[in-house]
Structure 1
Amino acid sequence: MFALPFFRRDLPALKGDRVTLRVPLTNDYREWSVLRGESRAFLEPWEPRWNPDELDRTAWRHRLSRYREDYAQGTAIAFFIFDKGNGKLVGGITLGNIRHGVAQSGHIGYWIGERYSGRGLMTDAVKVVTRFAFDTLRLHRIEAACIPDNARSIRVLEKAGFRREGLLRSYLRINGIWQDHYLYARIEDDPPGAETKD
């Protein structure tokens, strides 16, 4: 655990060109559960297997507790992504496995509701979190892993300035199956990504 000034309870919203990011709140449950529920078939191939109670209110409370605990320990920050134009929840992004000392690194993971994919919102969100990681958290390296068949996610990362560094064999158990993943990374002095839609 580490106590740094940016890990405080009043973490401000982060703003990009197209999205606003803020920590999840208790009253986000309904919007989150509706968006995740209607996007289930779209999301399941790229996520750990869903529990039977995945969208229940009790599971939601446990999820928020875990987010708060990770945040308090300085190991991760979960954000919800909102469309800047209409204020609707469109997805989520987490900066996790935050390490300081000699590593100064973190790992991002994200999801987006099916009806909001392909609009450039996730690319903007990844750029916003990356800037936050470098400028506020003073990290040096941000990583992301993605299944080789996930062409949309690959486009998001490459447009956000991430570079593919290799293949991680049997890296994560996704939808019940151990899957290979490409490892992507961005270093703080890498040039910014292309300004195009995902």
Structure 2
Amino acid sequence: MALLDWMTDATGPVVEGQGVLLRPPRAGDYAAWSELREQSRDYLQPWEPSWPDDDLTKAAFRRRLGVYAREMELGHAWPFFILDPSGRTLHGAITLSNVRRGVAETGTLGYWIGQPFAGQGIGTAAVRTMTRFAFQSARLHRLEASCLPTNLASRRVLEKAGFVKEGEARAYLKINGTWADHLLFGLVCDDPVVRTHA
């Protein structure tokens, strides 16, 4: 029952950025989330892991929220929905995951934008906002991100947000059922671009 209370109240940080608001997903977000994902299915699937058959069901969404709650409680991840500044319209999602402390103090960024909102600068705004959260609130030293070489839109988002291409990894992630090479990007808290967007 406590987990349901958490999901309903969406405890956790709310982060405002330039034209975006980031906050943890809530149980009440299911309809907007499933509708945007279904509407964007053909647009998103080439860049994502294969969707399970039940991916857009309410039960799967509840399971997802449970995983998110545990990850946030442990400090291993910060999953946020990307909304318009009023918090009414869902545009996509961004997650700071694989948070590693100690000698690393690093995490990995992943994000998606629904097709109706693509190409409007929302992804870049969300990445910049999450970067500020990661360095100022989560106190990380470094962020990492990756994208398929053919995903030019995602590459542009990372480059506009100040990420630097650091290399390539063969068969890095299984995307849409196939092991795929990825471009690797990084950003460090004292990079000049970080101070510019702070």
Structure 1 length normalisation: TM-score?
0.91
Give, in whole Å, the separation in 1 of the partners of 2:49 and 2:183.
17
List aligned pairs for 1:32-47, cutoff 5 A.
Answer: 32-47=33-48
Deviations 1:15-42 (A, max 9, x none): 0111000000000000000000000000
Structure 2 length normalisation: TM-score?
0.91
Deviation at residue 10 of structure 1 after TM alignment:
3.8
Q: Note if 1:179 corresponds to 2:177.
A: no
Give, in whole Å, the separation in 2 of the partners of 1:33 and 1:86.
17
More helix by percentage? 2
Aligned to 1:5: none
Deviations 1:38-88 (A, max 9, x none): 000000000000111110011011100010111111110100000126731
List aligned pairs for 1:49-198, cutoff 5 A.
Answer: 49-84=50-85, 87-192=88-193
* Aligned-CA RMSD value: 1.4
The letter for the 1-side match of 2:112 is W
Contact 2:11–2:24 (CA under 8 A) maintained in structure 1 = no
Deviation at residue 191 of structure 1 after TM alignment:
2.0
Unaligned runs of 5+ in 2: 1-9
Partner of 2:192, secondary structure, is coil
Using the aligned pairs only, state the percent identity. Answer: 49
List aligned pairs for 1:8-47, cutoff 5 A.
Answer: 10-47=11-48
Deviations 1:122-147 (A, max 9, x none): 10100011111101111110000100
Task: Name segments (4+ residues, structure 1) moved above 3 Å.
Answer: none
The letter for the 2-side match of 1:93 is I
Partner of 1:30, secondary structure, is helix
Contact 1:18–1:85 (CA under 8 A) maintained in structure 2 = no
The letter for the 1-side match of 2:140 is L
Give, in whole Å, the separation in 2 of the partners of 1:178 and 1:119.
30
Contact 1:19–1:84 (CA under 8 A) maintained in structure 2 = yes
Give, in whole Å, the separation in 2 of the partners of 1:152 and 1:190.
23
**What is the count of residue pairs matched by the alignment?**
186
Unaligned runs of 5+ in 1: 1-8
The letter for the 2-side match of 1:112 is I
Give, in whole Å, the separation in 2 of the partners of 1:101 and 1:86.
35
Partner of 2:60, secondary structure, is helix
Contact 1:170–1:181 (CA under 8 A) maintained in structure 2 = yes
Give, in whole Å, the separation in 2 of the partners of 1:155 and 1:177.
23
